[in-house]
Structure 1
Amino acid sequence: MRYMATYDLMESFRNANQWLGATALSFASYPGFAMVPNPALQWMAAWGEVTERTFQRMVVKPDWGIRTFVCPDGKDHLVTVDTVVERPFGDLIHFNVVGREPNPRKVLLVAPMSGHYATLLRSTVKSLLVDCEVYVTDWHNARDIPVSEGKFDVEDYSLYLVDFMKELGPDTHVIAVCQPAPLTLAATAYLAELDPDAQPRTLTLIGGPIDPDAAQTDVTDFGARVTMGQLEETMIQRVGFKYKGVGRMVYPGLLQLASFMSMNGERHTKAFSDQIMRVMQGEAGDHDPHNRFYDEYLAVMDMTAEFYLSTVERVFKNREIAKNEFVVNGHKVDIGKITTVAVKTVEGEKDDISAPGQCVAALDLCTGLPDEKKAQHVEPGAGHYGIFAGSSWRNNIRPLVLDFIDANADGPSPRASARKPKVKKAANKNAAA
């Protein structure tokens, strides 16, 4: 499958379905048919509307959609997304609340590179923007990156994080969500050895596979069952002629999306059937719950082949992070060298992607870190998405993360005068929380 023709065939299939949807909507909405009402035509128009939108969203990068923010002064301030560091495979961006004094909490939110854009963390960003100065890693779609820019694997990813942390300085608080958790831990250890003055204040790891073997999931079972040769043969293709990255070897976003949806096929089928009926009955809206979710879920990006394959081989199969044997740019990283950065792990009790036990393994690897600098939290009843963007994040985890940041920041807590005396929650295991 490693040929441009296969990549272009998938794009042709997507394009054809978008066209069929638009055609069905246009035909069934012809004004003349209104004289003879027919439920079949109404259903056809609804099917066309849902189908066109569905396949169109697969190649569109969503907008952040964070335009204004009400500050304590009662004024509605504009929010601009500024690029701080620009790189071929990803940028460091800053959500600048125009006219607001810089917030003392500087947070670097490390977004996953696992098929979706960084905008998947939109709600996370919005919730943190209230109390923090928020920076995000905005990874680029590999199909749009020319081959001349070279490779991008797990070591390059780690070095990007190192550079971003250096850019923001030592008063930064890093939050890594899901896939980047092990590489962010490695990047922090890399700085601890080679540039300790650039280390962040705190590191919060949310639902990441630090040790994939600590608890089995479908993801870890797949990684153990499939050989690297099988993955390369069945998952890797060359970008077609339509995009700037023509010829680049990638794990295509459309192929990833097919894998995502096949895991919960019945649920997605019902969701789209119900949406067609809502459109038919005039009960759907442009920003209704279905469209808000699927506009983001369906927007997928290609990953470079070397990043995908090296992640599977080095993080999941060889467990280089879990064994503290990870090498970056010829340097063997020692996670035990982290001695001053406070580390907190967050897991969801019902996380079926990175099950409880996988992320908290990071604390055992930090052998040089005193116990008072370590903390962990398992959120009862929460799934993978809920621990960084759902109600569990908003109501329970976000306040805990902010308390953890404040407890390990230099100087007085920025929330000290505004918050009530807190009662320590049992879910946190030590004073660092």
Structure 2
Amino acid sequence: MRYMATYDLMESLRNTNQWLGATAKAMASYPALAALPNPGIAWMAAWGEVTERSFKRMVVKPSWGIRSITCDDGKDHLVQIETVVEKDFGDLIHFNVQGREEKPRKVLLVAPMSGHYATLLRSTVISLIPDAEVYVTDWKNARDIPVSCGKFDIEDYTLYLMDFMRALGPETNVIAVCQPAPLTLAATAYLAELDPDAQPRTLTLIGGPIDPDATPTEVTDFGNRVTMGQLEESMIQRVGFKYKGVGRLVYPGLLQLSSFVAMNADRHSKAFNEQILRVTRGEGSDHDAHNRFYDEYLAVMDMTAEFYLSTVERIFKNGEIAQNRFVVAGKQVDIGKITDVAVKTVEGAKDDISAPGQCVAALDLCTGLPDSKKASHLEPGAGHYGIFAGKSWRNNIRPLVLDFIDTNAGTPRKKAANAA
């Protein structure tokens, strides 16, 4: 019960702060107070508005907000989000552009399960939709999944990816962003051995910790410094009675968010103080830069305890992917089995989460892949976010990834060449 009480306490504190913000905003907006020439009144209303919005966003899944897209014909086409595969812990969704001929490029964008929703990749999706049929792994909040659905660890995650790839077929081009990169590599290798006809055409790994020890960062140092017992004791809680997943052991999104904020506390504090002043002067708006960023940043989701703990232990501490000894469902996955899936890695020179060297290590693991099917790119001056959603992605990396897909997607499979 201690773990559940802690979970409910965190939710109570969040709810209280949201209420305080709403109360301050309502009180300061009382018409009679407008007659008082006190700037503190306006500041109180602004503080309340920013505070209420911030704490409210923490428990709301953001909308994709992709309603239409301008196509080559110069017309705006509606975008319909369709569920292709529905599973307990995550769905495969398709951004179907209505009235447009199907694009030859089929892209599976593997979203991270690291505290934020798949909507973190909204700008990435928007940039790819004009040139491809885009599919995304839409992971669900663990607090909303009943205990009866069972466990979900990194092996289950890998099996989900394999099912998604099978559903899309062999003409798929997979792009894995950050956390899922090592598991996507493992899923591709596992398919290469068990179901080679379901392998994707290309695999692009962006800023992922294939070998976390290749270039240590604060993230890897933390993973090596703490014991699994310490992590389980300090990070794991049990979902409270408010949600469908009551009783499930999770790494709570609110706890993750506190860690995210603590890493750059001064920068976040400055950003919120400046936003309060902007709202006080009447310069704030629903869709200004601050709100666009923090509406997504503050929206966090719970991870299952077994997924979080197995990620730390098996990917970071034991380096099972880096040492090519990852096991799924009792069978060891050999990354060397990848022989005709073109693999490209993308890293940011200033990435302080998955530093340069961690992701490109995937190419050395692909011992069965010829050099002609391997590629890597190091983006100068780019941080972690920039390599998949920022200016670096839009201007430099995205064109390179699409060129890589086009170059390799039409290459005949070895099986087809031998049959001929």
Q: TM-score, normalised by structure 1?
A: 0.94
1:27-66 correspondence runs (5 A): 27-66=27-66
Partner residue, 2:185:
185
Partner of 2:283: 283
Q: What is the aligned partner in structure 2 of residue 85 from structure 1?
A: 85
Corresponding residue for 1:263? 263
Asked whether the 8 Å contact 1:343–1:363 carries over to 2, the reply is yes
Show the counterpart of 1:158.
158
Q: Measure, in 1, the Cα distance between the counterparts of 2:36 and 2:28.
A: 12
SS at 2:299's partner residue?
coil
What per-residue deviation string (whole Å, max 9, x for no partner) do you get for residues 286-328 of structure 1?
0000000000000000000000000000000000000000001
| Residue 74 of structure 1: how far off its partner (Å) | 1.6
Alignment-derived partner of residue 418 in structure 2? none
Q: In 1, distance between residues paired with 2:317 and 2:202? A: 28
The C-alpha deviation readout for 1:154-210, integer Å capped at 9, x for no partner, is 000000000000000000000000000000000000000000000000000000000
Q: Distance in 1 between matches of 2:22 and 2:192?
A: 55
Partner of 2:377: helix, strand, or coil?
A: strand
**Rounded Cα–Cα distance in structure 2 between residues aligned with 1:2 and 1:179:** 30
C-alpha distance in structure 2 between counterparts of 1:92 and 1:166, whole Å:
12
Structure-2 separation of matches of 1:2 and 1:386 = 40
Aligned AA (1:238): R
C-alpha deviation, 1:2, in angstroms: 5.4
For the residues of structure 2 that align with 1:3 and 1:222, how far apart are their CA atoms?
Answer: 23
Q: Could you tell me how far 1:411 is from its partner in structure 2? A: 7.1
CA distance in 2, matches of 1:401, 1:245: 39
Match of 1:274 in 2: 274
Report how far residue 36 of structure 1 moved: 1.8
Q: Deviations over 1:103-131 (max 9, x none)?
A: 00000000000000000000000000010
Equivalent AA in structure 1 for residue 89 of structure 2: F
SS of structure 1 residue aligned to 2:375: strand
- Residue by residue over 1:200-222, the C-alpha shift from the partner in whole angstroms, topping out at 9 and shown as x without a partner, is 00000000000000001000000
Among all aligned residue pairs of Structure 1 and Structure 2, give the percentage whose two residues are the same amino acid.
82
Q: Is 1:356 the equivalent of 2:359? A: no
Deviations 1:349-374 (A, max 9, x none): 00000000000000000000000000
> Where does residue 100 of structure 2 map in the other structure?
100
- Give the equivalent residue in structure 2 for 1:334: 334
The alpha-carbon distance between structure 1 residues 154 and 411, as it changes in their structure 2 partners (threshold 3 A), is closer
In structure 1, what is the equivalent of residue 126 of structure 2? Answer: 126
Contact 1:207–1:348 (8 Å) recurs in 2: yes
In the alignment, which residue of structure 2 is the partner of 1:219? 219
Aligned to 2:208: 208
Task: Measure, in 2, the Cα distance between the counterparts of 1:68 and 1:360.
Answer: 36
Gaps of 5+ in 2: 413-420
Structure 1: segments with no counterpart, 5+ residues = 413-433
Alignment partner, residue 229 of structure 1: 229
Counterpart secondary structure, 1:214: coil
Q: Please state if 1:409 is matched with 2:409.
A: yes
> Runs (4+) of structure 1 moved beyond 3 Å?
none
Q: CA deviation at 1:37?
A: 2.5
- Aligned partner of 1:399 in structure 2 is 399
* 1:128-171 deviations in Å (ceiling 9; x for gaps): 00101000000000000000000000000000000000000000
Verify the 8 A CA contact 1:2 1:236 in the aligned structure 2: no
Quick check: 1:14 aligned with 2:44? Answer: no
Supply the distance in 1 between the matched residues of 2:97 and 2:383 (Cα, whole angstroms): 31
Count of aligned pairs: 412
Please report the TM-score for the alignment, with normalisation by the length of structure 2: 0.97
Structure 1 equivalent of residue 293 of structure 2: 293
Q: Mapping of 1:165-180 within 5 angstroms?
A: 165-180=165-180
Tell me which amino acid in the other structure corresponds to 1:79. Answer: V
**Matched AA of 1:310:** S
